[in-house]
Chain A
Amino acid sequence: MAGIINATPVADPQQYKNVFVFLETREDKLLRPALEMIGVGKTIANKVNEKLYCIILGSDLKDMADEAVSYGCDVVLGAESPDLKTFRTMPYSHIVSNFVKSEKPNIFLIPATRNGRDLASRIAVSCQAGVTADCTEIDIETDTRILLANRPTYGESMLAEILCKRHRPQMATARPGIFPIPEKLKSPKGEIRINKVKIDKSLLKKEILEFRKKEAIDLTAAKVIVAGGMGLGKPEGFKMLGDLSNEIGGVIGATRPTADMGWITRDHQVGQTGQTVRPRFYLAAGISGKIQHIMGMKNSETILSINNDPQAEIFKYSDYVIVDDVYKVVPALLEEIRKYKKEHVGIAVENRESS
């Protein structure tokens, strides 16, 4: 749609108003990053007394639109067609660009998921605007309504603050798992505008032959993660961690090389090229603490690490440290946890009954 065009500064930024977010879906259901976008978008919109618009595409929008409103969306802009049930670049970028061109938002946020990134840069080009990628902090300067988009860089050691002063909309993609999901409103009020659309055949040439769903392990929502690294030495190590994890209601995390080795599936991987997690408790067993792993888990509330090397990097990021062999520590820890639970489960029940 774009053609060879340059990024043209807008004549009058005052004509651009409100905050837009794109809500990612699967099979006509909102994904978790969609709710995160509503949260961060609403915060920004409130700061400058503007409205939050949510863009939703799909084949049946009613429930998703209601859900978006219940989380704080002021206006739902929907496009509905059987051809939009599954994300496809061409029809999605075409429709979303048109929404942006006609409604002229000041800000447009898109999740930095794979489909989100697939879309974001095309919209930016088509709308002749700039886009900041993969932000972990997003704010707005209230007097100028300039978006302050911050993204980690140089192995997550630095945060770059990136602005688009003269172009509109000011676009950014937001890293999944970072922005909190907002509370549902008690009495939500929102306007729902759903357009039934007909998609031009020329945009529907991509054929989706198949979707092989992975057993969904959402580490980003986990409260407790028990993660293993190469220090486990063999695939069976993950079975041992599984026993511990089951006992404390956790899910298994892993470093990249353990997934490369096939000891565990890729969806357990934490880090730069895996998931970014922030559980209440992160246990790192036999993990060295290389930066690419650290960046995925350093915002965990409490971190316990087990490593037989007293100099291990991971210890710098740990609240609790055990210098010993994982094969000694993990079974012993499991035993202590069972013991503690056995001694206290009675008390917990008694307390509940007496209150």
Chain B
Amino acid sequence: MAVEIIVMVKQVPDSQEVVIDPVTMNLNRSMTRNVTNRADENALEAALSIKDKIGANVTVISMGPPQAETTMIECLARGADRAILVSDRFFGGADTYPTGLTLAATISKIGKYDIIIAGEESSDSSTGHVGPGVAEFLDIDQITYASNVDYEDGYVIGERELEDGTEVVKVPTPVLVTVLLNSNDPRRQTLRRKIDAIRKGFEVWNIEKVGLPPEWVGVRGSPTIVRRMRSIKEKERAGKKYDLTNLGELVKELYEKKVLKMEEE
């Protein structure tokens, strides 16, 4: 039986052109283009390279508004076999808890899965909590912050990049993996696959299909609330100018103000 891989992808505002409304302090979403979260392209690539090696089925799932369809088509055009957009007005305003819950319920409905792959974090709210949340809901093990993922005879071998080193782990499936941004080189969409993708289309699942009560999901199912947003006050800095002719004075000032010390401890 083929290995079943599920990839979780999120559509995010393009971080290169994020515009903040100066009055409401909210993200002005109407001004920004939406793109696939970059780390999720790496997640899909990790899945596709396992597919290249052993011939797996790759299903992409995303929870989001209808415009996430562009991400669905893009993933199919890169080589995913199936794409499901989980979309319903009830899902709106979810924090990480109901986001994980909704994705986990979707995965349970899909039924069979051996490997679930997510990105390390999203570029917009970057909690990195959705992947591990899904694993907890499904009660399966996880390999987070992986720079390398491989599959062999029922096991996933992953290299986790920690602050002080690389941990190589081996876990029997089913397992959830989160992969690092830039950990691989995502393949491009091909025109032929793109045409096929548009023809074949993707599935849209609503809340009935996912099978969760409306009060468990979206904003109603979210324990956290954003109470307010403040702009971060930057420290005022003088920007005092020096040049090659007076570096001696600069050095004197740095030592006298104890910015530099004769003996660093």
What is the interface of chain A, defined by CB distance below 8 A to chain B?
1-7, 9, 26, 89-90, 93, 113-115, 117-122, 124-126, 129-134, 152-167, 176, 205-214, 216, 223-224, 248-250, 273, 280-281, 298-299, 301-304, 315-324, 328-329, 332-333, 336-337, 339-341, 344-345, 348
Contacts and interface: CB of A to CB of B under 8 A. Distances in A.
B169 interface: yes
Interface in B147-192: 157, 160-172, 181
A167 B223 contact: yes
A3 B134 CA distance: 10
Contact of A321 (B125, B132, B239, B264): B239
A214 B231 CA distance: 37
A125 B229 contact: no
Contact of A162 (B27, B97, B226, B247): B226
Contact of A301 (B133, B143, B259): B259
Interface string B98-119: 1011001100100000000000
11 contacts: A2-B139, A4-B212, A6-B216, A130-B223, A157-B232, A176-B163, A205-B172, A207-B171, A214-B164, A317-B234, A332-B247
Nearest to A117: B128
B242 A320 contact: yes
B240 interface: yes
Nearest to A320: B240
Contacts of A156: 232
B23 interface: no
Contacts of B136: 1-2, 93, 121-122, 125-126
A121 B132 contact: yes
Contact of B240 (A1, A132, A224, A319): A319
Given A152-B232, A176-B163, 9 more contacts: A117-B132, A120-B132, A125-B137, A134-B126, A164-B223, A206-B169, A321-B242, A323-B243, A348-B262
A165 B137 contact: no
A324 B248 CA distance: 16
Nearest to A344: B262
A281 B145 CA distance: 31
Contact of B171 (A119, A206, A280): A206
B194 interface: no
A322 B172 CA distance: 56
A319 B163 CA distance: 30
B226 A118 contact: no
Contacts of A249: 261, 263-264
B167 A208 contact: yes
B232 A162 contact: no
A265 B126 CA distance: 24
Nearest to A325: B244
Contacts of B127: 117, 121, 133-134
B161 A163 contact: no
Kindly state the interface size class of chain B when it binds its partner: 35 or more
Contact of A332 (B215, B225, B244): B244
A200 to B, nearest CB: 13
B222 interface: yes
Nearest to A272: B126
Contact of B222 (A7, A158, A302): A7
A93 B145 CA distance: 17
A126 B170 CA distance: 24
B251 A324 contact: no
A333 B251 contact: yes
A154 B164 contact: no
Contact of A121 (B129, B237, B244): B129
A214 B142 CA distance: 23
Nearest to A203: B141
Contacts of B169: 206-209
Contacts of A320: 238-242, 250
Nearest to B25: A158
Interface in B14-36: 15, 18, 20, 25, 27
A90 B141 contact: yes
Contacts of A214: 164-166
A344 B255 contact: yes
Closest 5 CB pairs of A and B: A249-B264, A130-B223, A133-B127, A121-B129, A6-B216
Contacts of B137: 2-5, 125
Contacts of B231: 157-159
A162 B223 CA distance: 10
Contacts of B216: 6
B228 interface: yes
Contacts of B132: 89, 117-122
Given A118-B144, A160-B226, A319-B237, A133 B129 contact: yes
Contacts of B224: 130-132, 162-164
